[in-house]
Amino acid sequence: MPSDISDKKVKFLEEKALEIRELIIEMLLNAGSGHSAGPLGMADVFSSLYFHTLNHIPSKPDWEERDRLVLSNGHICPVRYAAMALSGYFPLSELKTLRQLGSRLQGHPHRTSLPGLETTSGPLGEGVSQAIGIALAGKMNKKDYHVYVVTGDGEHDEGNIWESVMMGARYKLDNLTVIIDRNNIQIDGFTEDVMPLESLKNKYESFGWHAEDIDGNNIREIVLTLDKVKTIHEMPSVIIARTIPGKGVHFMENNYYWHGNPPNKEQAKMAMKDLRTLKNKIESEY
Amino acid sequence: MINKDLQLNEFLFSSGVTNIATRDGYGEGLLSLAQENENIVVLTADLAESTRVDKFEEKYPDRFFECGISEQNMVAVAAGLGVTGKRVFTSSYATFSPGKNWETIRTTVCYNDSDVKIAGHHAGIMTAQDGATHQATEDIALVRCLPNMKVFVPADYFEAIRITEYVGKIYGPAYIRFSREKTPVITTEKTPFEPGENFSYWVSDKPECIIFATGYLLYFSLLAAKKLKEEGIEVEVVNVSSIKPINEENIVNKVKDVRKVVTVEDHQVAGGMGSMISEILSKECPSQISFMGLQDRFGESGKSFELVSKFGLDDVGIKNTVLNLLKK
């Protein structure tokens, strides 16, 4: 288990995250509907997962030994689709079919439509339970695969989440890691106004989980924490990844309007400019 | 007369007919499945004994998972297991599963096409003294509208074994409905069950009315048929244990020369087996139908067979309904 990661690798993962963000903006503009903030905020986590942490073979999505990634908050699927296409699960050109008639890229992920998806999701609160099922099967079959679940923070309003958190501890599922996109927004406003969640870390710890609280837009921290939790035994782990919703696009950051809306053509142009110049920190041909 | 081809219980009409609950057939079916297939897994939500999976737990502890009182969680955990090659049975009361966790079943089991079977126990007013909160009378309606879902209602103990074994041998979502109370054994180990086919248990060369019954009410329908015959009235009684899939042509063929139908179910008349029969018949074979079941009201506490009488679902009620229909 590496205790550190080279600067070169971090840079590579940051570049992949940037590519994912650009693809997200293009996809949402094409689709004309969908969620902007969540996918952009989680680009660093998905870059880390798909290009570093996951043990997977994109050309063999059914490979038995693969690590499983369950996306519980299905509405941020553009980030997953972008990461999958960049990894080679399907052609990049297919991304522009998002939400279109006949597409394998459904508005919310549908397992049997697209190889590489582990579950069907959208309705919130159901992903950790399904991941528990997959993790239990891994234990029964004596497989070494690890099950990762990405969840939203707002979806922790759902009772089902806490049912599953209890069960994960009950069965000591150390092959299970939940990553919470702690971006503090949900459809009706800021999470702490809609239904306070804090302290999420204390909540999970009191339920018998190992908990980490990190900067979810810091690739080095993400990767090292994902490595670390694999060394925790006899209990499942949660990583509370504090992310900036809309990360990388200045007018989308921390604004809950962008939770459930796509950019229009003009906004997409501004967003691409932001991303390609890293908010005017670098020069770009754009 | 009784359909002799089906090799039914020869003591069916005797006063000492054996009574066994369909949930016991479920428990038996699971044990035989588990012996043959190591991928059979059972989950419950704090109801191991009353849903008759306690023996499975004892014999196969490594394939049994207690989920606590969390029906949404249980069915989603099952959905996770079911996409890995496990064939999962979830056991709870029908009011909670598919009642409380319906959307989870819709998304993670049916739309996700996971290999999960939902056993809905304590269905109908037969749940008796626990009262209406625990008497699922809407579950057939809830599950039969779900794409990918198969739906079965065993009429007795032996059919419960056969149906459990059948769904345990096929991939995909299925719902089976069970009763709490011990009910008369109608079939034998030799009685056929074929998914989609619903056999006529009481036959006649020239029936005046076709009775479609589901679950244990098949017994009271057969009693009613016998009494009607004694009064010179011929009917046919069909055991609708396969709600979905269903051979529509078979249903139409039974009715097309008769056009008078009674449906009998321990369920709301809205959305249940009777609704399904009327959907089929209204397409090609419009008929007069009397729908027997709960008429848009909840059940209540009482002894099981008292309740069946109170709601008019016993042999007397069925017979009177047929007579009234024939007068129309």
The structural domains of chain B, with segments of one domain joined by +, span: 4-16+192-327, 19-184
Res. B277: pLDDT tops 70: yes
Within a domain: A136: yes
- In angstroms, the separation between the Cα of residue A36 and the nearest Cα of chain B is 24
Candidates 1.20.120.1200, 3.10.20.30, 3.40.50.970, 3.40.50.2300; CATH matching B19-184 = 3.40.50.970
Residue contact B78–A133, C-beta within 8 A = yes
pLDDT of residue A1: 47
With b meaning 16 or more CB within 10 Å and e meaning fewer, what string describes B133-171? ebbbbbbbbbbbebeebbbbbbbbbbbbbbbbbbbbeee
Query: What Cα–Cα distance (Å) separates residue B328 from each residue in B156, B233, B289, B299, B325?
Result: 33, 15, 11, 29, 5
Q: Which of A60, A87, A71, A86 is nearest to A121 (CA)?
A: A71
Number of domains present in the structure of chain A = 1
Within a domain: A1: no
Within a domain: A281: no
Within a domain: A118: yes
pLDDT of residue A4: 85
Helices A7-31 and A77-87: crossing angle in degrees, nearest 10, is 120
Give the CATH number of the domain where residue A32 resides. 3.40.50.970
pLDDT of residue A286: 47
Helix (H, G, I), strand (E, B) or coil at A13: helix
* pLDDT band at B231; cut points 50, 70, 90: very high
Residue contact A112–B82, C-beta within 8 A = no
Looking at every residue in chain B, the average pLDDT score rounds to 97
Segment B100-115, tens digit of pLDDT = 999 999 999 999 999 9
Task: State ipTM.
Answer: 0.95
Q: Are B271 and B228 in contact (CB under 8 A)?
A: no
Within a domain: A285: no
pLDDT of residue A30: 92
What is the domain range of residue A82? 7-276
- Taking 50 as the pLDDT cut, the residues of chain A under it are 1, 286
Res. B1: pLDDT tops 70: yes
Within a domain: A286: no
Q: Does A159 touch chain B (CB under 8 A)?
A: yes
Res. B3: pLDDT tops 60: yes
Segment B135-158, tens digit of pLDDT = 999 999 999 999 999 999 999 999
Within a domain: A186: yes
CB pairs under 8 A between A and B: 101
Q: Please report, in angstroms and rounded to a whole number, the separation of the first and last CA atoms in chain B.
A: 25
Within a domain: A77: yes
Full-model pTM = 0.96
pLDDT of residue A281: 72
Residues of B in contact with A159 (CB under 8 A): 72
Q: Does A63 touch chain B (CB under 8 A)?
A: no
pLDDT of residue B171: 98
Domain B4-16+192-327 has CATH 3.40.50.720: no
